[in-house]
Chains A and B, each alone.
Chain A
Protein backbone atom coordinates (compact mmCIF):
# COMPACT_ATOMS: atom_id res chain seq x y z
CA UNK A 1 0.00 0.00 0.00
CA UNK A 2 1.17 3.45 -0.78
CA UNK A 3 1.52 6.12 1.88
CA UNK A 4 0.70 9.63 0.80
CA UNK A 5 0.36 12.85 2.65
CA UNK A 6 -3.20 14.15 3.09
CA UNK A 7 -4.71 10.81 2.05
CA UNK A 8 -8.00 9.85 3.67
CA UNK A 9 -6.24 7.01 5.46
CA UNK A 10 -4.51 9.50 7.68
CA UNK A 11 -7.29 12.03 8.00
CA UNK A 12 -6.85 11.99 11.77
CA UNK A 13 -3.27 13.14 11.49
CA UNK A 14 -2.40 16.84 11.31
CA UNK A 15 -2.14 18.05 7.73
CA UNK A 16 1.12 17.15 6.09
CA UNK A 17 2.34 14.89 8.85
CA UNK A 18 3.17 11.24 8.34
CA UNK A 19 2.58 8.61 11.01
CA UNK A 20 5.93 7.07 11.78
CA UNK A 21 6.70 4.37 14.29
CA UNK A 22 10.17 4.62 15.76
CA UNK A 23 11.87 2.78 18.59
CA UNK A 24 14.24 5.27 20.18
CA UNK A 25 16.55 3.91 22.86
CA UNK A 26 14.17 1.01 23.45
CA UNK A 27 10.93 2.98 23.54
CA UNK A 28 8.48 2.45 20.70
CA UNK A 29 6.04 5.17 19.78
CA UNK A 30 4.15 6.32 16.71
CA UNK A 31 4.59 9.99 16.00
CA UNK A 32 3.08 12.31 13.41
CA UNK A 33 6.14 13.76 11.73
CA UNK A 34 6.48 16.51 9.14
CA UNK A 35 8.25 14.87 6.19
CA UNK A 36 11.00 17.51 6.04
CA UNK A 37 12.14 16.77 9.61
CA UNK A 38 15.56 15.18 9.80
CA UNK A 39 16.22 12.47 12.34
CA UNK A 40 18.67 14.83 14.01
CA UNK A 41 16.08 17.57 14.46
CA UNK A 42 13.49 15.04 15.64
CA UNK A 43 15.88 13.74 18.30
CA UNK A 44 17.00 17.15 19.53
CA UNK A 45 13.86 19.23 19.12
CA UNK A 46 11.11 16.62 19.33
CA UNK A 47 12.53 14.17 21.84
CA UNK A 48 14.85 16.42 23.85
CA UNK A 49 17.65 13.92 23.26
CA UNK A 50 20.30 16.60 22.97
CA UNK A 51 23.24 14.24 23.38
CA UNK A 52 23.27 13.91 19.60
CA UNK A 53 24.98 17.03 18.31
CA UNK A 54 24.44 19.25 15.30
CA UNK A 55 27.84 20.17 13.93
CA UNK A 56 27.83 20.99 10.23
CA UNK A 57 24.31 19.69 9.41
CA UNK A 58 25.70 18.57 6.03
CA UNK A 59 27.22 15.14 6.63
CA UNK A 60 30.74 16.51 6.77
CA UNK A 61 31.59 16.21 10.49
CA UNK A 62 29.93 13.13 12.01
CA UNK A 63 28.80 14.87 15.23
CA UNK A 64 25.22 13.72 14.57
CA UNK A 65 26.11 10.03 14.20
CA UNK A 66 23.52 7.64 15.64
CA UNK A 67 22.78 3.95 15.15
CA UNK A 68 19.80 2.92 13.03
CA UNK A 69 19.14 -0.80 13.34
CA UNK A 70 22.71 -1.08 14.60
CA UNK A 71 24.27 0.79 11.66
CA UNK A 72 25.90 4.18 12.08
CA UNK A 73 24.56 6.99 9.90
CA UNK A 74 24.60 10.79 9.85
CA UNK A 75 21.22 11.69 11.38
CA UNK A 76 21.37 15.17 9.79
CA UNK A 77 20.93 13.71 6.28
CA UNK A 78 18.10 11.30 7.08
CA UNK A 79 14.44 12.24 6.96
CA UNK A 80 12.77 10.72 10.01
CA UNK A 81 9.67 9.60 8.07
CA UNK A 82 11.80 7.31 5.92
CA UNK A 83 12.76 5.30 9.02
CA UNK A 84 9.27 3.96 9.85
CA UNK A 85 9.76 0.77 11.87
CA UNK A 86 13.43 1.37 12.65
CA UNK A 87 15.27 1.08 15.94
CA UNK A 88 17.39 4.11 16.79
CA UNK A 89 20.11 4.26 19.42
CA UNK A 90 21.62 7.55 20.52
CA UNK A 91 24.35 8.23 23.05
CA UNK A 92 21.64 8.33 25.76
CA UNK A 93 20.72 4.76 24.83
CA UNK A 94 24.27 3.46 25.03
CA UNK A 95 25.02 4.44 28.61
CA UNK A 96 24.02 6.75 31.44
CA UNK A 97 25.88 8.42 34.31
CA UNK A 98 26.75 5.67 36.74
CA UNK A 99 26.26 3.01 34.11
CA UNK A 100 28.71 3.92 31.36
CA UNK A 101 29.06 2.02 28.13
CA UNK A 102 32.56 0.46 27.74
CA UNK A 103 33.32 3.01 25.02
CA UNK A 104 32.35 5.88 27.33
CA UNK A 105 34.64 4.50 30.04
CA UNK A 106 37.45 4.05 27.54
CA UNK A 107 37.04 7.64 26.28
CA UNK A 108 37.41 8.83 29.90
CA UNK A 109 40.36 6.52 30.59
CA UNK A 110 42.20 7.64 27.46
CA UNK A 111 41.36 11.34 27.73
CA UNK A 112 39.78 11.02 24.29
CA UNK A 113 38.14 14.44 24.21
CA UNK A 114 38.62 18.04 25.18
CA UNK A 115 35.53 20.13 24.48
CA UNK A 116 33.38 17.00 24.11
CA UNK A 117 31.15 18.28 21.32
CA UNK A 118 32.09 15.53 18.87
CA UNK A 119 32.18 12.81 21.54
CA UNK A 120 28.60 11.43 21.32
CA UNK A 121 29.05 11.05 17.57
CA UNK A 122 32.49 9.53 18.03
CA UNK A 123 31.14 6.96 20.49
CA UNK A 124 28.09 6.04 18.38
CA UNK A 125 30.39 5.78 15.38
CA UNK A 126 32.78 3.55 17.31
CA UNK A 127 29.88 1.28 18.31
CA UNK A 128 28.89 1.11 14.63
CA UNK A 129 32.48 0.27 13.74
CA UNK A 130 32.46 -2.56 16.31
CA UNK A 131 29.14 -3.85 14.91
CA UNK A 132 30.63 -3.87 11.40
CA UNK A 133 33.59 -5.98 12.54
CA UNK A 134 35.94 -4.71 9.83
CA UNK A 135 38.49 -2.76 11.88
CA UNK A 136 41.17 -4.59 13.81
CA UNK A 137 44.44 -2.75 13.27
CA UNK A 138 45.25 0.82 14.21
CA UNK A 139 45.27 1.84 10.53
CA UNK A 140 41.87 0.25 10.01
CA UNK A 141 40.39 1.98 13.05
CA UNK A 142 41.84 5.31 11.91
CA UNK A 143 40.35 4.94 8.47
CA UNK A 144 36.96 3.69 9.66
CA UNK A 145 36.69 6.48 12.27
CA UNK A 146 37.49 9.10 9.63
CA UNK A 147 33.83 10.12 9.34
CA UNK A 148 34.06 11.87 12.70
CA UNK A 149 35.99 15.10 12.93
CA UNK A 150 37.43 16.35 16.23
CA UNK A 151 38.52 19.97 16.03
CA UNK A 152 40.28 19.71 19.40
CA UNK A 153 42.46 17.09 17.74
CA UNK A 154 41.97 14.25 20.23
CA UNK A 155 42.32 11.73 17.41
CA UNK A 156 45.22 9.68 18.78
CA UNK A 157 43.45 9.20 22.10
CA UNK A 158 40.15 8.42 20.40
CA UNK A 159 41.86 5.67 18.42
CA UNK A 160 43.47 4.37 21.62
CA UNK A 161 40.06 4.25 23.33
CA UNK A 162 38.42 2.40 20.44
CA UNK A 163 41.30 -0.06 20.16
CA UNK A 164 41.05 -0.66 23.90
CA UNK A 165 37.40 -1.70 23.60
CA UNK A 166 37.98 -3.75 20.46
CA UNK A 167 40.81 -5.55 22.26
CA UNK A 168 38.57 -6.32 25.21
CA UNK A 169 35.95 -7.80 22.95
CA UNK A 170 38.33 -9.90 20.89
Chain B
Protein backbone atom coordinates (compact mmCIF):
# COMPACT_ATOMS: atom_id res chain seq x y z
CA UNK B 1 0.00 0.00 0.00
CA UNK B 2 1.31 3.45 -0.85
CA UNK B 3 1.58 6.18 1.76
CA UNK B 4 -1.05 8.88 1.87
CA UNK B 5 -2.29 11.84 3.86
CA UNK B 6 -5.15 11.03 6.18
CA UNK B 7 -7.95 13.40 7.15
CA UNK B 8 -10.97 12.85 9.31
CA UNK B 9 -13.47 15.64 8.72
CA UNK B 10 -16.22 16.24 11.27
CA UNK B 11 -18.89 17.52 8.88
CA UNK B 12 -20.18 16.68 5.42
CA UNK B 13 -19.31 20.20 4.27
CA UNK B 14 -15.74 19.78 5.48
CA UNK B 15 -15.48 16.39 3.78
CA UNK B 16 -16.70 17.70 0.44
CA UNK B 17 -14.34 20.64 0.67
CA UNK B 18 -11.45 18.22 1.09
CA UNK B 19 -12.82 15.72 -1.39
CA UNK B 20 -11.91 17.22 -4.74
CA UNK B 21 -8.72 16.18 -6.47
CA UNK B 22 -7.70 13.39 -8.77
CA UNK B 23 -6.15 11.10 -6.16
CA UNK B 24 -8.43 11.87 -3.22
CA UNK B 25 -10.63 9.05 -1.94
CA UNK B 26 -13.45 8.92 0.58
CA UNK B 27 -12.97 5.98 2.96
CA UNK B 28 -15.98 4.37 4.62
CA UNK B 29 -15.96 0.66 5.54
CA UNK B 30 -12.85 0.09 3.45
CA UNK B 31 -13.70 -3.47 2.42
CA UNK B 32 -13.08 -2.67 -1.24
CA UNK B 33 -10.88 0.44 -1.23
CA UNK B 34 -8.26 -0.95 1.19
CA UNK B 35 -8.07 -4.12 -0.87
CA UNK B 36 -7.56 -2.10 -4.07
CA UNK B 37 -4.86 -0.08 -2.34
CA UNK B 38 -3.08 -3.26 -1.21
CA UNK B 39 -3.01 -4.40 -4.84
CA UNK B 40 -1.83 -0.95 -6.01
CA UNK B 41 -4.90 -0.77 -8.23
CA UNK B 42 -5.72 2.47 -6.45
CA UNK B 43 -3.02 4.73 -5.05
CA UNK B 44 -4.64 7.75 -3.45
CA UNK B 45 -2.51 10.60 -2.18
CA UNK B 46 -5.20 11.61 0.31
CA UNK B 47 -7.69 9.42 2.12
CA UNK B 48 -10.64 11.15 3.73
CA UNK B 49 -12.10 9.06 6.54
CA UNK B 50 -15.83 9.81 6.42
CA UNK B 51 -16.80 7.33 9.12
CA UNK B 52 -17.57 10.02 11.70
CA UNK B 53 -20.04 11.90 9.49
CA UNK B 54 -23.69 11.88 10.61
CA UNK B 55 -24.88 9.66 7.74
CA UNK B 56 -25.46 6.53 9.78
CA UNK B 57 -29.22 6.46 10.35
CA UNK B 58 -32.20 4.89 8.64
CA UNK B 59 -35.00 7.44 8.60
CA UNK B 60 -38.64 7.60 7.58
CA UNK B 61 -39.40 9.70 4.50
CA UNK B 62 -42.60 11.65 3.93
CA UNK B 63 -44.90 9.49 1.87
CA UNK B 64 -43.90 6.20 3.45
CA UNK B 65 -40.41 5.57 2.14
CA UNK B 66 -37.11 5.11 3.92
CA UNK B 67 -33.79 6.90 3.67
CA UNK B 68 -30.82 4.59 4.19
CA UNK B 69 -27.85 6.60 5.44
CA UNK B 70 -24.74 6.15 3.30
CA UNK B 71 -22.71 5.01 6.32
CA UNK B 72 -25.16 2.47 7.70
CA UNK B 73 -23.44 -0.91 7.49
CA UNK B 74 -24.94 -3.40 5.06
CA UNK B 75 -25.73 -5.83 7.90
CA UNK B 76 -27.62 -3.20 9.91
CA UNK B 77 -29.59 -2.29 6.80
CA UNK B 78 -30.51 -5.89 6.00
CA UNK B 79 -31.54 -6.60 9.59
CA UNK B 80 -33.36 -3.30 10.21
CA UNK B 81 -36.94 -4.24 11.15
CA UNK B 82 -38.42 -1.62 8.80
CA UNK B 83 -36.32 -2.83 5.87
CA UNK B 84 -37.13 -6.47 6.64
CA UNK B 85 -40.86 -5.76 6.76
CA UNK B 86 -41.24 -3.21 3.97
CA UNK B 87 -38.36 -4.08 1.63
CA UNK B 88 -37.69 -7.79 2.15
CA UNK B 89 -36.19 -7.99 -1.34
CA UNK B 90 -33.45 -5.58 -0.28
CA UNK B 91 -32.74 -7.51 2.92
CA UNK B 92 -32.54 -10.73 0.96
CA UNK B 93 -30.19 -9.30 -1.67
CA UNK B 94 -27.82 -7.82 0.92
CA UNK B 95 -27.72 -11.09 2.88
CA UNK B 96 -26.91 -12.95 -0.34
CA UNK B 97 -23.71 -10.95 -0.69
CA UNK B 98 -20.22 -11.18 0.84
CA UNK B 99 -19.87 -12.54 4.39
CA UNK B 100 -21.19 -11.44 7.79
CA UNK B 101 -17.83 -9.83 8.61
CA UNK B 102 -17.74 -7.90 5.35
CA UNK B 103 -21.38 -6.82 5.66
CA UNK B 104 -20.62 -5.50 9.16
CA UNK B 105 -17.91 -3.21 7.80
CA UNK B 106 -19.23 -2.41 4.31
CA UNK B 107 -21.57 0.56 4.09
CA UNK B 108 -24.52 1.34 1.84
CA UNK B 109 -22.65 4.11 0.05
CA UNK B 110 -19.60 1.90 -0.36
CA UNK B 111 -21.68 -0.92 -1.76
CA UNK B 112 -22.89 1.43 -4.52
CA UNK B 113 -19.36 2.59 -5.27
CA UNK B 114 -17.48 -0.73 -5.11
CA UNK B 115 -15.37 -1.50 -8.16
CA UNK B 116 -15.57 -4.49 -10.47
CA UNK B 117 -13.90 -7.76 -9.46
CA UNK B 118 -12.62 -8.32 -13.02
CA UNK B 119 -9.31 -10.23 -12.69
CA UNK B 120 -7.58 -7.91 -15.14
CA UNK B 121 -8.71 -4.77 -13.31
CA UNK B 122 -7.10 -6.21 -10.18
CA UNK B 123 -3.87 -7.38 -11.81
CA UNK B 124 -1.67 -4.36 -12.45
CA UNK B 125 0.62 -6.47 -14.68
CA UNK B 126 -2.15 -6.79 -17.29
CA UNK B 127 -3.85 -4.24 -19.54
CA UNK B 128 -7.14 -2.75 -18.36
CA UNK B 129 -8.92 0.25 -19.82
CA UNK B 130 -10.81 0.78 -16.56
CA UNK B 131 -7.64 0.92 -14.45
CA UNK B 132 -5.35 2.46 -17.05
CA UNK B 133 -7.26 4.16 -19.87
CA UNK B 134 -5.97 3.21 -23.30
CA UNK B 135 -4.00 0.16 -22.13
CA UNK B 136 -6.45 -2.34 -23.63
CA UNK B 137 -8.71 -5.01 -22.19
CA UNK B 138 -7.23 -8.29 -21.05
CA UNK B 139 -10.62 -9.86 -20.52
CA UNK B 140 -11.71 -9.63 -24.17
CA UNK B 141 -10.33 -12.83 -25.61
CA UNK B 142 -8.92 -13.74 -22.19
CA UNK B 143 -10.28 -15.43 -19.11
CA UNK B 144 -13.76 -13.98 -19.07
CA UNK B 145 -15.95 -16.47 -17.28
CA UNK B 146 -17.32 -13.83 -14.87
CA UNK B 147 -17.75 -11.07 -17.43
CA UNK B 148 -20.62 -9.20 -19.05
CA UNK B 149 -23.09 -10.55 -21.56
CA UNK B 150 -25.06 -7.32 -21.86
CA UNK B 151 -24.14 -3.69 -22.45
CA UNK B 152 -20.41 -4.29 -22.81
CA UNK B 153 -18.17 -2.30 -25.15
CA UNK B 154 -15.11 -3.12 -27.19
CA UNK B 155 -13.09 -1.48 -24.43
CA UNK B 156 -14.50 -3.13 -21.32
CA UNK B 157 -16.59 -6.18 -20.43
CA UNK B 158 -16.47 -5.81 -16.64
CA UNK B 159 -19.52 -6.36 -14.45
CA UNK B 160 -20.74 -4.51 -11.39
CA UNK B 161 -20.43 -6.99 -8.51
CA UNK B 162 -23.12 -5.73 -6.11
CA UNK B 163 -26.17 -7.70 -4.97
CA UNK B 164 -27.68 -4.79 -3.07
CA UNK B 165 -27.72 -2.58 -6.17
CA UNK B 166 -29.71 -5.17 -8.14
CA UNK B 167 -32.48 -4.93 -5.55
CA UNK B 168 -32.20 -1.13 -5.50
CA UNK B 169 -32.68 -1.10 -9.29
CA UNK B 170 -35.92 -3.00 -8.93
CA UNK B 171 -37.10 -0.78 -6.07
CA UNK B 172 -36.47 2.44 -8.05
CA UNK B 173 -34.20 3.80 -5.35
CA UNK B 174 -32.86 7.34 -5.47
CA UNK B 175 -29.21 8.04 -4.64
CA UNK B 176 -28.72 11.25 -2.67
CA UNK B 177 -25.38 12.93 -3.22
CA UNK B 178 -23.74 16.18 -2.22
CA UNK B 179 -20.74 17.90 -3.71
CA UNK B 180 -18.99 21.13 -4.56
CA UNK B 181 -22.01 22.22 -6.60
CA UNK B 182 -24.61 21.25 -4.01
CA UNK B 183 -27.03 18.38 -3.54
CA UNK B 184 -28.37 16.09 -6.27
CA UNK B 185 -30.79 13.17 -6.37
CA UNK B 186 -29.89 10.50 -8.93
CA UNK B 187 -32.32 7.72 -9.86
CA UNK B 188 -30.56 4.37 -9.43
CA UNK B 189 -31.06 3.59 -13.13
CA UNK B 190 -28.90 6.62 -13.97
CA UNK B 191 -26.35 6.14 -11.18
CA UNK B 192 -24.26 3.33 -12.63
CA UNK B 193 -23.36 3.49 -16.30
CA UNK B 194 -22.32 1.26 -19.18
CA UNK B 195 -18.61 1.26 -20.04
CA UNK B 196 -18.85 2.68 -23.58
CA UNK B 197 -15.61 4.45 -24.44
CA UNK B 198 -15.07 5.70 -20.87
CA UNK B 199 -14.84 2.42 -18.93
CA UNK B 200 -12.96 4.06 -16.06
CA UNK B 201 -16.20 5.79 -15.07
CA UNK B 202 -18.30 3.33 -13.06
CA UNK B 203 -21.01 5.83 -12.25
CA UNK B 204 -22.25 9.34 -12.89
CA UNK B 205 -20.85 10.95 -9.75
CA UNK B 206 -19.07 14.21 -10.47
CA UNK B 207 -15.61 14.96 -9.05
CA UNK B 208 -15.75 15.40 -5.28
CA UNK B 209 -19.34 14.24 -4.92
CA UNK B 210 -20.21 12.14 -1.89
CA UNK B 211 -23.12 9.75 -1.52
CA UNK B 212 -25.11 10.74 1.57
CA UNK B 213 -28.02 8.31 1.40
CA UNK B 214 -30.28 6.04 -0.60
CA UNK B 215 -34.02 6.73 -0.69
CA UNK B 216 -36.48 3.88 -1.05
CA UNK B 217 -39.88 5.00 -2.31
CA UNK B 218 -43.02 3.62 -0.65
CA UNK B 219 -43.84 0.33 -2.34
CA UNK B 220 -45.80 -2.82 -1.75
CA UNK B 221 -43.51 -5.63 -2.85
CA UNK B 222 -43.63 -7.50 0.42
CA UNK B 223 -45.21 -10.73 -0.79
CA UNK B 224 -44.29 -11.45 -4.40
CA UNK B 225 -40.57 -10.97 -4.62
CA UNK B 226 -37.33 -12.93 -4.76
CA UNK B 227 -33.59 -12.53 -5.00
CA UNK B 228 -32.14 -15.55 -6.75
CA UNK B 229 -28.34 -15.60 -6.85
CA UNK B 230 -26.51 -18.20 -8.95
CA UNK B 231 -22.81 -18.64 -8.23
CA UNK B 232 -19.96 -21.14 -8.06
CA UNK B 233 -20.44 -21.88 -4.36
CA UNK B 234 -23.54 -21.29 -2.28
CA UNK B 235 -22.12 -18.61 0.01
CA UNK B 236 -19.42 -15.96 0.01
CA UNK B 237 -19.10 -15.73 -3.78
CA UNK B 238 -20.02 -13.13 -6.36
CA UNK B 239 -22.97 -13.75 -8.63
CA UNK B 240 -22.48 -15.31 -12.03
CA UNK B 241 -26.07 -14.29 -12.62
CA UNK B 242 -28.53 -12.92 -10.09
CA UNK B 243 -32.17 -12.00 -10.53
CA UNK B 244 -34.20 -9.59 -8.41
CA UNK B 245 -37.96 -9.62 -8.90
CA UNK B 246 -40.62 -7.41 -7.32
CA UNK B 247 -44.14 -8.21 -8.40
CA UNK B 248 -47.67 -7.21 -7.50
CA UNK B 249 -50.43 -9.68 -8.24
CA UNK B 250 -54.09 -8.68 -8.32
CA UNK B 251 -56.43 -11.64 -8.45
CA UNK B 252 -54.62 -14.03 -10.75
CA UNK B 253 -53.02 -11.33 -12.87
CA UNK B 254 -49.61 -9.67 -12.71
CA UNK B 255 -50.45 -6.01 -12.07
CA UNK B 256 -46.82 -4.94 -12.01
CA UNK B 257 -43.45 -6.66 -12.23
CA UNK B 258 -39.96 -5.19 -12.01
CA UNK B 259 -36.92 -7.33 -12.72
CA UNK B 260 -33.19 -6.64 -12.67
CA UNK B 261 -30.16 -8.82 -13.31
CA UNK B 262 -26.82 -8.77 -11.52
CA UNK B 263 -23.49 -10.20 -12.65
CA UNK B 264 -24.22 -9.71 -16.33
CA UNK B 265 -23.41 -6.07 -17.08
CA UNK B 266 -21.53 -2.95 -15.95
CA UNK B 267 -24.69 -1.99 -14.03
CA UNK B 268 -27.85 -3.75 -12.80
CA UNK B 269 -29.64 -4.74 -16.00
CA UNK B 270 -33.28 -3.78 -16.30
CA UNK B 271 -35.70 -3.12 -19.15
CA UNK B 272 -38.95 -1.35 -18.39
CA UNK B 273 -39.90 -2.06 -22.02
CA UNK B 274 -39.57 -5.81 -21.51
CA UNK B 275 -41.49 -5.57 -18.23
CA UNK B 276 -44.56 -4.55 -20.23
CA UNK B 277 -44.70 -8.16 -21.42
CA UNK B 278 -45.53 -9.24 -17.87
CA UNK B 279 -48.07 -6.59 -17.00
CA UNK B 280 -51.66 -7.80 -17.15
CA UNK B 281 -50.61 -11.40 -17.83
CA UNK B 282 -51.32 -14.59 -15.94
CA UNK B 283 -48.16 -16.05 -14.42
CA UNK B 284 -47.11 -18.89 -16.73
CA UNK B 285 -43.89 -20.47 -18.04
CA UNK B 286 -44.68 -19.13 -21.52
CA UNK B 287 -45.06 -15.55 -20.29
CA UNK B 288 -41.92 -15.81 -18.19
CA UNK B 289 -39.90 -17.26 -21.09
CA UNK B 290 -41.03 -14.54 -23.46
CA UNK B 291 -39.98 -11.95 -20.90
CA UNK B 292 -36.60 -13.64 -20.39
CA UNK B 293 -35.95 -13.52 -24.12
CA UNK B 294 -36.86 -9.83 -24.22
CA UNK B 295 -34.70 -8.92 -21.21
CA UNK B 296 -31.77 -10.85 -22.69
CA UNK B 297 -32.19 -9.41 -26.19
CA UNK B 298 -28.76 -8.52 -27.52
CA UNK B 299 -26.90 -10.72 -25.05
CA UNK B 300 -23.46 -11.70 -26.35
CA UNK B 301 -21.07 -14.22 -24.85
CA UNK B 302 -17.33 -13.56 -24.72
CA UNK B 303 -16.30 -17.19 -25.04
CA UNK B 304 -15.80 -18.43 -21.50
CA UNK B 305 -18.98 -16.81 -20.22
CA UNK B 306 -21.33 -18.05 -22.97
CA UNK B 307 -23.01 -20.26 -20.35
CA UNK B 308 -24.37 -17.15 -18.66
CA UNK B 309 -26.95 -16.57 -21.39
CA UNK B 310 -28.88 -19.84 -20.90
CA UNK B 311 -28.20 -19.64 -17.15
CA UNK B 312 -29.78 -16.19 -17.02
CA UNK B 313 -32.71 -17.31 -19.16
CA UNK B 314 -33.50 -20.22 -16.86
CA UNK B 315 -32.83 -18.13 -13.77
CA UNK B 316 -35.24 -15.40 -14.85
CA UNK B 317 -38.03 -17.93 -15.42
CA UNK B 318 -37.30 -19.57 -12.07
CA UNK B 319 -37.19 -16.27 -10.19
CA UNK B 320 -40.45 -15.06 -11.73
CA UNK B 321 -42.07 -18.32 -10.64
CA UNK B 322 -40.71 -17.89 -7.10
CA UNK B 323 -42.07 -14.35 -6.94
CA UNK B 324 -45.45 -15.21 -8.44
CA UNK B 325 -45.88 -18.08 -5.99
CA UNK B 326 -44.74 -15.94 -3.04
CA UNK B 327 -41.93 -18.38 -2.29
CA UNK B 328 -38.87 -16.10 -2.24
CA UNK B 329 -35.44 -17.70 -2.37
CA UNK B 330 -34.15 -18.41 1.14
CA UNK B 331 -30.61 -17.13 1.71
CA UNK B 332 -29.95 -19.77 4.39
CA UNK B 333 -31.54 -22.94 3.07
CA UNK B 334 -29.95 -22.74 -0.37
CA UNK B 335 -32.20 -25.19 -2.14
CA UNK B 336 -33.80 -23.53 -5.15
CA UNK B 337 -37.54 -24.14 -5.12
- Whether A94 is near chain B, meaning CB under 8 Å from some CB there, is no
Contact B101 A35 (CB under 8 A): no
Docked CA distance A4–B157 (Å) = 39
Cβ distance A44 to chain B, nearest Cβ, rounded Å:
16
CB distance from B248 to the nearest CB of A (A): 29
A143 within 8 A of B: yes
Q: Given A81-B49, A139-B333, A146-B236, does the pair A2, B104 have CB atoms closer than 8 Å?
A: no
Closest chain B residue to A72, Cβ basis: B101
Which single residue of chain B is at the shortest CB-CB distance from A75? B101
Which B residue sits closest to A7, measured CB to CB?
Answer: B7
Contact status of A143 and B331, CB under 8 A, knowing A5-B5, A72-B104, A78-B105: yes
Q: Is there contact, CB below 8 Å, between A58 and B35?
A: yes
* List of A residues within 8 angstroms of B35 by Cβ: 58-59, 77
Complex formed: what's the CA distance from A147 to B74 in Å?
15
Q: Which of A22-30, A100-108, A129-137 contacts B (4 or more CB under 8 A)?
A: A129-137
Q: Does B217 sit at the interface, judged by CB under 8 A? A: no
How far is the CB of A123 from the nearest CB of chain B, in Å? 13
Q: Is B34 within 8 A of A79, CB to CB?
A: yes
In this complex, how many residues of chain B approach chain A with their Cβ under 8 Å: the count is 36
Docked pose: A2 CA to B17 CA in angstroms: 12
Stretch at the interface among B8-16, B163-171, B199-207, B256-264: B8-16
Q: Is the CB of A3 within 8 A of B332?
A: no
Classify chain A: how many residues form its interface, as a range. Answer: 35 or more
| Interchain CB contact under 8 A, A1 and B236 | no
Which among A3, A16, A58, A74 is the interface contact of B105 at CB below 8 angstroms?
A: A74
Chain B 225-245, CB within 8 Å of chain A: the 1/0 string?
000000000011000000000
Residue pair B101, A125 in contact (C-beta under 8 Å) = yes
A91 within 8 A of B: no
A18 interfacial by beta-carbon distance below 8 Å: yes
Contact A2:B10 (CB < 8 A) given known A36-B3, A77-B30: yes
A140 interface residue per 8 A CB criterion: yes
- Among A51-104, those with CB < 8 Å from B are 57-59, 62, 65, 71-74, 77-79, 81-82, 84
Give the most central of A2, A5, A129: most B CB within 10 Å: A2
A18 engages B6 (CB within 8 Å): yes
CA distance A132 to B101 in the complex (A): 11
Across the interface, which residues of B come within 8 angstroms of A62, CB to CB?
99, 101
The chain A residue with its CB closest to the CB of B233 is A146
Chain B residue with minimal CB distance to A56? B35
Q: Give A119-131 as 1s and 0s: 1 = Cβ < 8 Å from B's Cβ atoms.
A: 0000001001100
CB-CB < 8 A to B79: which residues of A?
Answer: 132, 134
| Chain A residues, CB < 8 A from B3 | 16, 34, 36
Instruction: Determine if B124 is an interface residue (Cβ-Cβ < 8 Å).
Output: no
Cβ contact within 8 Å between B30 and A78: yes
Residues of B within 8 A of A35 (CB): 4-6, 47
What CA separation (Å) do A146 and B334 show in the bound complex? 13
Within 8 Å of chain A (Cβ to Cβ): is B51?
A: yes
Beyond A2-B9, A78-B105, A147-B99, 6 additional contacts (C-beta under 8 Å) are: A2-B14, A57-B38, A58-B38, A139-B333, A142-B332, A147-B100
Jot down 27 A-B pairs with beta carbons below 8 A, ordered by A. Answer: A5-B6, A5-B7, A18-B6, A35-B5, A35-B6, A36-B2, A58-B35, A59-B35, A59-B101, A74-B101, A74-B105, A77-B35, A77-B102, A77-B105, A78-B34, A78-B105, A79-B47, A79-B49, A82-B8, A82-B27, A82-B30, A82-B51, A139-B332, A140-B332, A143-B332, A147-B98, A147-B99
Q: A residues touching B (Cβ–Cβ < 8 Å)?
A: 1-6, 16, 18, 34-36, 38, 57-59, 62, 65, 71-74, 77-79, 81-82, 84, 125, 128-129, 132, 134, 137, 139-140, 142-144, 146-148
